[in-house]
Amino acid sequence: MARLGVCAAALLMILASPVWAGETVRVSIDKMMFTPKILKVKPGTTVEWVNDEKRNNHSVLFEKEGLPESDRLFPGDSWKRSFDKPGLYPYVCGPHRDMTGVIEVAP
């Protein structure tokens, strides 16, 4: 029983850990939403958006930065972007403008 408690405590510590610089973090695209909707990362982190839908295609678009839209992500496809500078990076899905998310980069 003590082993179970130790394992549970270790799992909680891992899940509660902040995202460190240089890591790749996953954002799921499923059920017409980005999950997590707000993602907090350290500078130097790469974010990978993965389309977990079964039918719909999506994209990732950082309009405020004036960057080009990602390629269309069909089911199973992914797209990555690295974030080096602190700030807020709001984004939308190109074909589904009500799908939104934010990457918050802070030291």
Annotated binding site: 58, 93, 96, 99
Cα gap 49→70, rounded to integer Å: 10
Annotated binding site for Cu cation: 58, 93, 96, 99
CA distances from 32 to 29, 97, 98, 103 (A): 7, 10, 9, 18
Q: Is 22 left (phi over 0), alpha (psi -120 to 50) or beta?
A: left
